[in-house]
Structure 1
Amino acid sequence: MGRARKPSRRGWPANLYAHRDGFKYRHPITRKEHGMGKDFAKACAAAKKLNALLMPGNDLVSKVLTPGETVADAIRVFRTDDVPGRKWAPKTAEVYESVIRRIESGLGETPVADVTVKTCATFIREVTESDRARQQFRLVLGWILACAVEEGWIDTNPALATRKFSHSRKRERLTIDAYRAIWDAAPQWVRNAMDLSLLTLLRRDDVVSARFSDVRDGSLWIVPAKTEESTNVRLQISTAGPLSDLLARCRDAVVSPFLIHRLPEKARPSHMRAKDREHHTQVLPEQLSRAFAAARDAAGINTDNPPTFHEIRSLGGALLKEAGWTNEQIQALMGHSNVAMTEHYLGGHEAPWQAVSTGIALPR
């Protein structure tokens, strides 16, 4: 505590002092002094206002008017009331939970009433250097503060007024020529996986989890893992044509319940296998990614941002578009909840040539 005021100055506001030119105010944090003029009433009023702004817990009025809820309280509401309804897939939930924890660490103790547009903008810019990640933080922070609005703690959502960060896809698209080169350099089980993804547009995780028992009644029946708990997409893909030939090729000399399979390089007892492996011939998603990357490198495709296995899905969609499929038809096969996401996947590929005729005669 500071020393007691002189009896003649006991009614003065804190940090206000006499000065040879009248009165001065000493900043409670920086200790820098500022002249306040010669009018005592005005100096007192200014000092009280500055103390309310600069001294935490000093403004009794704001304690009455400002709710005590913090960003951490809004996060608790978001986790309890909003997250279950979003039905995120496990990997998606893991990504968003990581973002939520970083927001909680950076802004959790801040009262929601004190969160301004500048507060949000500063946090988003400083939390990461990636524009793509910044946009993700902006999105999640907006969801959290929307809960504060809905609870009546604040009137507007400051995160919505911050800048939207645009980012371009860095990973290169996979061309049909590159696909053929990688296919030639890959082992047979990787070729089967590539062709299955190209024909069905299935994601990597669904490719390696597809079973022979999923093939029945002339169709391949797939419930995509990523959308199982959200959009509840269920795919019945006809096995006619090239897909039928591929499924026959998958039935090789190795006995396995999985369409995509391989014999392990080292036989291990069941208790020593990876916890996600149900059968010794099962291919894990990470194994497929590594094998695809190895074949890609062997094919001489060593660019700064080489295409991954996931780009086969985009290439397959572009080939269907070129064959005359509509975006809505491709959306159904990809299992997207909206056509905008499908169009994002189709972007970056060369547009097909359109056959047109002209009925205009040249003037003679």
Structure 2
Amino acid sequence: MSPRGRNVGNLDLPPHVETDKKANGTVYYRYLLPNGQRKSLGKDKYEAIKAAQALNSVLERNPDIVSKILTSVERQQKQLTIPTFAQALTEYENIHLPKKKYAKNTLDIVTSNITKYHDMWDPLYCTDISLLMISEYLKQQTDFQAEKHRSQLIDIWKYFVANGWAPENIAEKTLKPIRPEKVRTRHSNESIDIVKAACPDWLRLAIDLALHSIQRRADLVVMERTSINIKDNTMTVLQHKSLNYDKPVFIEVDMHPELREIVLLCLEHGMKLRCPYLISTRPERITAQIRDAKLHPFAVTEDHLTKQFKKYRDLSGAYDHLEPNQRPSLHDLRALGIYNITQQYGKKYAQALAGHANVKMTDHYLEGHETPKPERISYR
């Protein structure tokens, strides 16, 4: 907005200053903001001029020549030394991120989050993004999401600081989200029997395979017939969660009787569908998109297995006494399986079958299942 024309008597006033002369001769000064609002500058002409000059400089409305030159030089220096956020984050993605060796699912989440950061801050320079901007963004997330975003932003700014693009890691100064304590509930064998009674055949087999093999869903859905040696009674699994480890977890164990029985049933079911995977089903419809997302037309994806388990778990009514977010999940079958196998075949076998590097992780899964020992109280 161009400054309004001034009277001859007001030529010594800065642009955007108006006068209001009262009947008693007192002159008041007002400043005209870019949005058309007027703010009083009082009746002291000297103070009004100083305030107007400062406002013009801050708002870049006809600033003085020195301010123009300094601002121009500052911008040129920033352009020469500091990349835009878009450039810096792209380098982080292409150079630093591949070194992190994230699992595929984790990498998908990280990449999705980075896309959100691009959308918000791409036009800005790294130094233009403030602690307030990051803090406000984290406040918009759930506690769980905020924890993940904060961790990711700290790593991004760590890379920026290391390259001299930011003076400090402002993401570290944000408050660490406090997640509400998770109410841990466990499956019971009685409840699982109720759930299985409501399931279709293929899902019932999948639940039993998860329970007796104690493998994660990512390993369950890709377990092939070739991983089973019926003659030697062994099962071989390369655990996908460990693929990026220095030493991936590759297990070959003897199958206990219950595991062998369910494996034979899965093999029989798969042979009918001519599917090489132990968990298989004929979908109601097959589109090109569904086919591309699957290893085989009759194979089952991780997401589908989880959703179907949740669906029939709730339909069965086995956990109606719990809130939906407290009901045990498909992954919690692993804990029940570890408990059952520990009780029947010992903790060392359960640890080997689960692929745990140490017994501490096995004990973590056993928490909530073990019956506490009675406390002995002695009185003399």
Q: TM-score range by the shorter chain?
A: 0.7 to 0.9
Change over 3 Å in CA distance of 1:213–1:46 after alignment to 2: same
Aligned to 1:354: 373
**Aligned 1:10-89 pairs, distance under 5 A:** 14-15=15-16, 24-29=30-35, 31-35=37-41, 38=44, 40=46, 46-55=51-60, 60=68, 61=70, 64=73, 67-68=78-79, 69-89=83-103
Report the TM-score, using the length of structure 2 for normalisation.
0.72
CA–CA separation in structure 1 for the residues paired with 2:28 and 2:289: 83
Displacement of 1:37 after TM fit? Answer: 6.7
CA–CA separation in structure 2 for the residues paired with 1:176 and 1:117: 50
Whichever residue aligns with residue 233 of structure 1, its letter is P
Q: Is the 8 A contact 2:4 2:16 kept in 1?
A: no
Whichever residue aligns with residue 249 of structure 2, its letter is R
Q: CA RMSD in A?
A: 4.3
Change over 3 Å in CA distance of 1:229–1:103 after alignment to 2: same
Whichever residue aligns with residue 285 of structure 1, its letter is E
Displacement of 1:236 after TM fit? Answer: 0.2
Aligned to 1:228: 243
Q: Is the 8 A contact 1:233 1:335 kept in 2?
A: no
SS of residue paired to 1:251 = helix
Displacement of 1:219 after TM fit? Answer: 4.1
Displacement of 1:314 after TM fit? Answer: 4.0
Fraction of identical pairs, as percent? 21
Q: What do residues 53-97 of structure 1 show as CA deviations (whole Å, max 9, x unaligned)? A: 444996554664573543323321221222211233443333222
Q: Is the 8 A contact 2:205 2:279 kept in 1?
A: yes
Q: Is the 8 A contact 2:253 2:353 kept in 1?
A: no
Change over 3 Å in CA distance of 1:6–1:167 after alignment to 2: same
Q: Is the 8 A contact 2:214 2:354 kept in 1?
A: no
Aligned to 2:256: 241
- Worse-matched range after superposition: 233-242 or 76-85: 233-242
Aligned to 2:23: none
CA–CA separation in structure 1 for the residues paired with 2:219 and 2:227: 12
Change over 3 Å in CA distance of 1:203–1:96 after alignment to 2: same
CA–CA separation in structure 2 for the residues paired with 1:331 and 1:144: 38
SS of residue paired to 1:252 = helix
Whichever residue aligns with residue 248 of structure 2, its letter is V
Displacement of 1:334 after TM fit? Answer: 5.7
Change over 3 Å in CA distance of 1:106–1:254 after alignment to 2: closer
SS of residue paired to 2:226 = helix
SS of residue paired to 1:77 = helix
Whichever residue aligns with residue 250 of structure 1, its letter is C
Selected match of 2:171 from 151, 159, 163: 159
Change over 3 Å in CA distance of 1:273–1:335 after alignment to 2: farther
SS of residue paired to 2:102 = coil
Aligned to 2:355: 333
- Worse-matched range after superposition: 63-72 or 91-100: 63-72
Selected match of 1:198 from 211, 231, 235: 211
**Aligned 1:1-364 pairs, distance under 5 A:** 1-3=2-4, 14-15=15-16, 24-29=30-35, 31-35=37-41, 38=44, 40=46, 46-55=51-60, 60=68, 61=70, 64=73, 67-68=78-79, 69-126=83-140, 128=141, 130-168=142-180, 169=182, 173-216=186-229, 219-229=234-244, 233-242=248-257, 243-252=259-268, 254-255=270-271, 256-262=275-281, 264=282, 274-279=291-296, 281-301=298-318, 302=320, 304-305=323-324, 306-317=327-338, 325=347, 333=355, 343=364, 349=368, 352-354=371-373, 360=378, 362-363=379-380
Segments of 5+ residues of structure 2 without an aligned counterpart are 21-25
Length, aligned pairs only: 351
Displacement of 1:33 after TM fit? Answer: 1.6
SS of residue paired to 1:35 = strand
Segments of 5+ residues of structure 1 without an aligned counterpart are none
Larger radius of gyration: 2
Change over 3 Å in CA distance of 1:144–1:277 after alignment to 2: closer
